[in-house]
Each structure stands twice: as structure tokens, then as C-alpha cells.
Chain A
Amino acid sequence: MIKPVAYFKPDSLAEAVEALQNENARPIAGGTDLIINMRNGTENPGLLVDVKGLDELDVFSANGKSGITIGARVNLNFLIDDAKLRNICPVLGESALSVATYQLRNRATLIGNLCNASPAADMAPAMYVLGAGVVITGPHGERKMLISDFITGVKRTALGKGELVVKVEIPEIPDGKMAFLKKQRCRGHDLATVNVAGIADPAAKTLKICIGACAVTPVLLKGTDELYRETDNVDELADRAAELARKSIAPIDDVRSSAEYRRDMASVYVKRLIRKICS
């Protein structure tokens, strides 16, 4: 059973921030992680601040040149269904489609997935390769930071007391191919054993690859632009990127996989990803 809890649905961001100052207050958007955690007793907030009434969080715009803005109320099915987004940044919809089920995606939000900060979060790798930033509001005003600075550890973020993520901002989308791949034990309900996202711009010779579920936070590979410039051969590039991946991650043994298997799968999935986006 869920323990007794207070509930408040503010009409303004200021009211939300004020309510979030309370000891043990938690924002709730989709609630698909939070409510289950409350049921298990792993999280016991005293006050739920329902942010679904806030207009500032209900924003969405997608434009290749000026980038993409996604508010905290936007759910995952929206990212899958939006035709414009599918066109300019398909990796978001691909990542979202791998999350849970149709029913849960009607509630679950992109920003909830990021704030939950699971090392296996399926929306995170795409955010890293796209260089997304999060816009945070709180008692001391607004601040922005890169996703890689926002996610600080297992289930840990840089959010301070009373702060709330309002939206994510993705800068100009590079021309080129992008993809998300996920290794899971069974399709649909399982979390990722390994997930990878990548984006390659052949004209600018930039290559970004991020691996999830293989360290305390997603790992954005360093030095991939240089690799991309050094070789035009896709097989060689795949092998070298896979080697780089092996060295950059720090997987653990858990219920879903051994560390050794994760390391192997990270290497296999990085190769598959490179073949998909670099050829």
C-alpha cells in the first residue's frame, strides 16, 4: 500500500517552487516510476506537487536549425507520434519506443526519465549525443546545465532542494544519421542491459556515441570525432570505437547481466550502431 501523502496541484511555477521547499516534497508528472516506488516503500514523500497544471512545462517546439525544446509535461508517446520530430530527430522517438508499454508511455515523460537518473534510462543516451541542456527553476531563479552535468550518479541529479526541471533544450541538430539501439533480455517490459545512441555528421566529421547501463551514469565516449576523421573504413571505425567503448565503461554484475557480458554487448552494440549511422 502507498503510505498517506499530501497532494497539491499548483497553478503557477512560483507556487510549485514554494511547495517544493517542504521537507520531503516531490514533484510528480507522469508518476510511472514514483508511484511504483511509493508502493514498494522505496520512496516515501510527504507531499506530492503535481506539475501537470503548469503551462511553462507544456512546451514543445522542433526545428532543425534552432533546435528542439521539450517541456516536462511532454510524454513519450508524443515524441514517437510527432511527425516533425520524427523527421528532424528520429533518435528521440526510437529511444522512446523502447520504453515500457503504450499505456505507460501515455503518462511517462522524457524529463521524468532523466530526473529518475537510472543508469539504464533509455532517453538519456540520445540526450548526451545531442548535447541537450536542462533548464531548472528553483528558489534562486533559473539555471541551465548540460545533461552530462545534470546526471551525477545512480538515481542522483544536480537538482537542489525546491528545484524543478522545466524543459530540455537541444541545440541545432547536426545533419547526418542517428540511431538508438537497446539490448534487453526480452522485448517490452525489460530495462536495458545495454543501450547506445549515436549521431554521425559526415560533412563536419563529428561522431557522438553514448552508452547506457554500463557505468553509474551514461558514458559519452571521448575521442570519437578524432576516430571518425582518422578512418573512412566503416569496419575499422566500428572496431576502434568498440575498443574505445570497452575501455571507457565500468559495468557491474546485477540481475540483468554480468559485467563481462555487458562489456561484450556494449562492444557489439557500438559496432552495430556505427554500421548504421556511418555507412
Chain B
Amino acid sequence: MKEYSKIVDIRVKVNGAEYRESVPANMTLLHFLREHLMLTGTKEGCGIGECGACTIVLNGKPVTSCTILAAEVDGSEIHTIEGEAKNYQLTDLQQAFIEHHGEQCGFCTPGFIMSAQSLLDRNPNPSREEIVEAVSGNLCRCTGYEPIIEAIEAVARKKS
């Protein structure tokens, strides 16, 4: 029988930068981002796919990085919260979160921003229901959600 390795070589693009890394096959994508690439903006809440704090955009789609292995994403393009603001310039969505008090402790915020930005990218003018549905996989223990929805709505209205 063939021997199979517990270490996997992967090549990924994260926020536009190319990485070639060797990772243990039991390492989640979340831990790879946080501990290998030191991109600690992506948070670990539950670690079991329920809270959305670890949401990143993988090949254009928001996913929970705690339920994916780094080994599985060879050849992929990844966007994390670190890639949002450019040259110290916040995105409209980040700015709206500040203006509408969409964050308190901030732990859920990177996940919300990634889910919401991805919604706005695929649908620039979402209805309130579509916004709620798009972030329904992101939990927030502080804000009560209303200011977050308002922030996303504000960006959608401004664009349209």
C-alpha cells in the first residue's frame, strides 16, 4: 500500500500575497491563518462552525475557516479582514460599522465584515431580508445586531 503523508505542501494567495507552506494535515485553515501567517484578525469563537467569527472569503465565497483544513485549500485565493483596508483607508463598510456603532467588543466584527462585504460584492443592493440572511451565520453577543444590519444597509443604500 502507498504511503500517505501527514504533511502537505500548499500554495495559496492570501490578500494578494503568494505563500508556499508545508502544513500538518490536521491544521485548520483558521489556525494556519492565525498561527502560521500571523494574520490574527480572523477570530476563533466556537471552533465548530456555529459562530462565524472565523469567516473568511475562499475563492470568492464566505466560509468558516475553522471547519476547513489548510491542506484542502491548496491553489486557492483567500481574503481575510487584513486585506480590507488599503493604505490606512477603511472600506465603506468598515467606516459604516464605526458610524452605526456596529461593534462593541469587536470580536465578531471581522467575521461580519467578511460575510457582509461578500454579500455586497455579489449583490450591491440587497434587501433587509437578504442582509439578515447573509449574516445569519455570524453571532454577536454585544450589539443586538440592529446596528450591524443598519451599517450594512447604509452602504447598500449609498451604492444604489
- A-side residues, CB < 8 A to B, are 1-9, 18-19, 21-22, 28, 31-32, 35-36, 38-40, 47-48, 50, 52, 77, 100-104, 106-107, 188-189
Can you spell out 22 A-B residue pairs with CB atoms less than 8 angstroms apart? Answer: A2-B27, A3-B26, A4-B6, A7-B6, A19-B4, A36-B48, A38-B26, A39-B47, A39-B48, A47-B4, A48-B71, A101-B49, A101-B50, A101-B136, A101-B137, A102-B115, A102-B133, A102-B137, A103-B49, A106-B58, A106-B63, A107-B68
Interface residue? B74 (CB, 8 A): yes
Number of A-B contacts (CB under 8 A): 97
CB nearest to A188 among chain B residues? B136
Interface string of B1-30 (1 = CB under 8 A from A): 110111010000000000000001111100
Among A1, A4, A35, contact of B68 (Cβ-Cβ < 8 Å): A35
CB nearest to A49 among chain B residues? B4
In the complex, are the beta carbons of A31 and B69 less than 8 A apart?
A: yes
Other A-B pairs, 4, CB within 8 Å; known A2-B26, A7-B69, A21-B1: A4-B25, A19-B4, A106-B62, A189-B50
CB nearest to A25 among chain B residues? B4
In the complex, are the beta carbons of A5 and B26 less than 8 A apart?
A: yes
In the complex, are the beta carbons of B2 and A7 less than 8 A apart?
A: no
Interface residue? B110 (CB, 8 A): no
CB nearest to B47 among chain A residues? A39
In the complex, are the beta carbons of B68 and A100 less than 8 A apart?
A: no
In the complex, are the beta carbons of B25 and A31 less than 8 A apart?
A: no
Among B8, B26, B52, contact of A101 (Cβ-Cβ < 8 Å): B52
Determine the distance from Cα of A107 to Cα of B72 in the docked complex, in whole angstroms: 11
In the complex, are the beta carbons of A31 and B72 less than 8 A apart?
A: yes
**Which residues of chain B come closer than 8 Å to A38, judged between CB atoms?**
26
Determine the distance from Cα of A184 to Cα of B98 in the docked complex, in whole angstroms: 35
B interface residues, tally (CB under 8 Å)? 33
In the complex, are the beta carbons of A100 and B25 less than 8 A apart?
A: no
CB nearest to B55 among chain A residues? A103
**Which residues of chain B come closer than 8 Å to A28, judged between CB atoms?**
69, 72
Chain A nearest CB, measured from B28 CB (Å):
7
**Which residues of chain A come closer than 8 Å to B74, judged between CB atoms?**
9
Determine the distance from Cα of A8 to Cα of B74 in the docked complex, in whole angstroms: 12
**Which residues of chain A come closer than 8 Å to B71, judged between CB atoms?**
7, 9, 48, 50
Chain A nearest CB, measured from B114 CB (Å):
9
Determine the distance from Cα of A40 to Cα of B67 in the docked complex, in whole angstroms: 12
Please judge, given known A-B contacts A7-B4, A21-B1, A22-B1, whether A104 and B72 are in contact too, CB under 8 Å: no
In the complex, are the beta carbons of A18 and B2 less than 8 A apart?
A: yes
Most chain B CB within 10 A, of A3, A28, A189, is at A189
Among B25, B52, B55, B115, contact of A48 (Cβ-Cβ < 8 Å): B25
Chain B nearest CB, measured from A266 CB (Å):
26
Determine the distance from Cα of A5 to Cα of B27 in the docked complex, in whole angstroms: 10
**Which residues of chain B come closer than 8 Å to A6, judged between CB atoms?**
4-6, 25
Interface residue? B64 (CB, 8 A): yes
In the complex, are the beta carbons of B49 and A104 less than 8 A apart?
A: yes
Among A8, A21, A107, contact of B67 (Cβ-Cβ < 8 Å): A107
In the complex, are the beta carbons of B49 and A36 less than 8 A apart?
A: yes
Determine the distance from Cα of A40 to Cα of B26 in the docked complex, in whole angstroms: 13
In the complex, are the beta carbons of A188 and B137 less than 8 A apart?
A: yes
CB nearest to A107 among chain B residues? B63
In the complex, are the beta carbons of B64 and A104 less than 8 A apart?
A: yes
**Which residues of chain B come closer than 8 Å to A8, judged between CB atoms?**
4-5
Interface residue? B134 (CB, 8 A): yes
Determine the distance from Cα of A189 to Cα of B8 in the docked complex, in whole angstroms: 32
CB nearest to B74 among chain A residues? A9
**Which residues of chain A come closer than 8 Å to B58, judged between CB atoms?**
106
In the complex, are the beta carbons of B25 and A5 less than 8 A apart?
A: yes
Among A1, A47, A103, A188, contact of B63 (Cβ-Cβ < 8 Å): A103
Determine the distance from Cα of A186 to Cα of B15 in the docked complex, in whole angstroms: 36
CB nearest to B137 among chain A residues? A101
Determine the distance from Cα of A32 to Cα of B137 in the docked complex, in whole angstroms: 14
Please judge, given known A-B contacts A4-B26, A48-B25, A103-B115, whether A31 and B63 are in contact too, CB under 8 Å: no
